[in-house]
Amino acid sequence: MSVAIQINGISKAYQLGVINTGSFSSDLIRWWALKRGKEDPYLQIAEENDRSSLGSSNIVWSLKDVTFNILQGDSVGVMGRNGAGKSTLLKILSQVTHPTTGQIKIKGKVASLLEVGTGFHPELTGRDNIFLNGAILGMRKQEIKTKFDEIVAFSGVERYIDTPVKRYSSGMYVRLAFAVAAHLESDILIVDEVLAVGDVEFQKKCMGKMNQLGKSNGRTILFVSHNMAAIKSLCKQALFLEKGKVKSFGETGTIVNDYLSAYSVRQAGDGAIPCGSSLHGTGEARYTRFQICKNGNGCEDFFFGEKPSLLVHMEVYQHISDAVVGVHLVNIYGEKIMMMTPDKNYKSVMLEKGSYQFSIEIDEILMPGEYSFNLAVSKYNTGSDIDYLESVGTLRVLRDSIDHELDYPWATIHGFLKPQSIWDIKRI
């Protein structure tokens, strides 16, 4: 199978704050260096694109020495945090911008969907923009006409097809833009995260269409998304970018796990709760550590069906004869949707002075969504709080199939099938 996209050492540098290098003398110095075959002097001081630090240079590498090949007919998912260089890479492949250094070879026509409205003229109608996009791709008018009805039907904007697209909502824009890119005859389809603008039904429709294009039509697809489930269902291979560099490239399942591990473990850290975080309770005991785990390691991201475990540390400063220990699972609306205690009958436990570790296995399947936890310990007889912490940790359950959100429309409200947990308490 032939190579559709060949990328060899491409880099892209941007200067912050100004359009060009800032002065005529700077442009002259750069031109003279390049004329003599020497490296651009301004690129020697360029820094990696780390948004978390101020840096000492106003020139940053959005991409740095990126090299990989994509075979014809392959579907490749591109993942990375915001600012990793994903959109810059796609813009270079779409020839919206050029690389600062390196070479790129593309075999075939490219259709791109980079952001809402890309390639559309706002004053033209939807009908006119379909023909305009087809002409840009090098198609004849008759070829576009044969696909026209199919494009309009897929987009679902028949009623507005003769209305200027400047009056379209962002969702309508994306519907028509994707329909055009997917149905016109191109060899390579490049799709950025714009599909997130559409509703769930249309996203599912788009995923089905891209699957069809990749498997049946042999079209090469590059797909940028933060939805790991979508990348796993669509793509054979994946590219993981970090700070403009290739972190890893290979089989999708492996790269997705690399991506989740790279950030989840780092974000979870050792789970230490800063001193002074507790604002409630008598202070006879304090929670000191909380960590969400998968296979014994700190993790925040789980696929549907995976069961997380919790590691909780508590320091008890004086004997408590009737302590009620509980962990609440809280959804994104702040609702307590699951109460986990060592005893299903909510009986009290006795805590001697010292350090305790609670290992909690959530023995049920959580629905896709984002959750946090409240940690509580109180006195059984009086109900008074000893310690209480809100919104500790972040647990994300990812869909392993785009169907789950449709199958369980109540997932974000209830969050679980049956509340059940297994506790192991020991002194340390």
Q: Which two tokens stand for residue 377?
A: 């310990």
C-alpha distances in Å from residue 420, one per residue of 254, 266, 299, 316, 341: 31, 28, 20, 26, 9
Same domain, 70 and 177: yes
Evaluate if residue 295 carries a pLDDT over 90. no
| Domain presence at residue 22 | no
Tell me which residue range forms the domain holding 295. Answer: 269-427
| Residue that finishes a domain, picked among 204, 236, 262 | 262
Least confident of 29-33, 304-308, 319-323, 334-338: 29-33
**262 φ, ψ to 5°?**
-60, -35
Examine the domain organization and report whether 255 and 313 are in the same domain: no
Which of 38-42, 122-126, 415-419 is most confident? 122-126
Name the pLDDT band for 237 (thresholds 50, 70, 90). very high
At 239 the pLDDT is 93
pLDDT at residue number 125? 94
pLDDT, tens digit, for every residue of 346-365? 678 888 999 999 998 887 77
- State the CATH number of the domain containing residue 318: 2.70.50.60
Answer whether residue 324 is part of any domain: yes
Whether 414 has a pLDDT exceeding 50, the answer reads no
Give mean pLDDT, residues 297-326: 88
Q: Which two tokens stand for residue 134?
A: 């087809």
Give the best-scoring range by mean pLDDT among 107-116, 165-174, 206-215. Answer: 165-174
Q: Are residues 70 and 217 in the same domain?
A: yes
Residue 55 domain flag: no
Mean pLDDT of 372-380: 87
85 and 175, same domain (yes or no):
yes
- 157 and 208 in one domain? yes
What does the pLDDT look like over 39-62, one tens digit per residue?
A: 666 565 555 665 545 555 667 778
State residue 193's pLDDT score: 73
199 and 77 in a single domain? The answer is yes
pLDDT at 371: 87
Query: Does the pLDDT at position 19 exceed 60?
Result: no
Of the pLDDT bands very low, low, confident and very high (cuts 50, 70, 90), residue 266 is: very low
pLDDT at 416: 41
Question: Do 232 and 332 share a domain, yes or no?
Answer: no
For residue 303, pLDDT over 80 is answered with: yes
Confidence check: pLDDT of 121 > 80: yes
Query: Which is higher by pLDDT, 117 or 2?
Result: 2
Residue 411, pLDDT score: 38
pLDDT at 189: 87
Structure token digits, residue 48: 């990696």
Say if 348 falls within a structural domain.
yes
What proportion of the chain, given as a percentage, has pLDDT over 70?
77
Query: Please, are residues 285 and 323 in contact by the beta-carbon 8 Å criterion?
Result: yes
Judged against a pLDDT cut of 80, whether residue 273 lies above it is answered with no
Question: Lowest-confidence range among 126-135, 254-263, 280-289, 389-398?
Answer: 254-263
| pLDDT of amino acid 149 | 92
Give the end of a domain, one of 204, 230, 262. Answer: 262
DSSP of 304-319, one letter per residue?
TT---EEEEEEEE-S-
pLDDT value for 42: 58
pLDDT classification of 198: cutoffs 50, 70, 90: low
Q: Model confidence at 87, in pLDDT bands (50, 70, 90)?
A: confident
- Report how far residue 69's alpha carbon sits from residue 103's, in angstroms, rounded to the nearest whole number: 12
At position 43, the amino acid (one-letter code) is L
Q: Is residue 204 part of a domain?
A: yes
Instruction: Note the pLDDT of residue 232.
Output: 82
Per-residue pLDDT averaged across 160-184, rounded?
A: 87
Angle at 101 between CA 95 and CA 105, to 5 degrees: 45
What tokens appear for 144 in the block? 């576009």
Name the average pLDDT for the chain: 79
Tell me the mean pLDDT in the region 75-85: 86
Rounded to an integer, what distance in angstroms lies between the CA atom of residue 273 and that of residue 59?
A: 38
- The residue among 124 and 425 whose pLDDT is bigger is 124
Q: Please give the single-letter amino acid code of residue 3.
A: V
Tell me the mean pLDDT in the region 213-224: 83
CA distance 351 to 342: 13
Q: What average pLDDT does range 172-201 have in this prediction?
A: 79
- The count of domains in the chain is 2
CATH of the domain at 94: 3.40.50.300
Q: What pLDDT is attached to residue 170?
A: 79
> For tokens 């896709």, what's the residue?
368
Q: Are 253 and 282 in a shared domain? A: no
Q: In the predicted model, is pLDDT for residue 25 greater than 70?
A: no
* Torsion sign, CA atoms 381, 383, 384, 388: positive
Residues 184, 152, single domain; the answer is: yes
Q: What is the pLDDT of residue 83?
A: 78
Region 131-147: mean pLDDT is 85
Look at residue 106 and tell me if it is in a domain. Answer: yes
Cα–Cα nearest to 65, from 242, 261, 220, 250? 242
Q: In the listed set 262, 296, 311, which residue is the last one of a domain according to the structure?
A: 262
In a domain, 291, yes or no: yes
Using CA atoms, how far apart are residues 78 and 242, in angstroms rounded to an integer? Answer: 11
Confidence band, pLDDT 50/70/90 cuts, at residue 336: confident
Question: Per the domain annotation, does 196 fall within a domain?
Answer: yes
Residues 243 and 340 in one domain: no
Residues 221 and 98 in one domain: yes
Question: Could you tell me if 200 and 289 lie in one domain?
Answer: no
Whole-number pLDDT of residue 408: 42
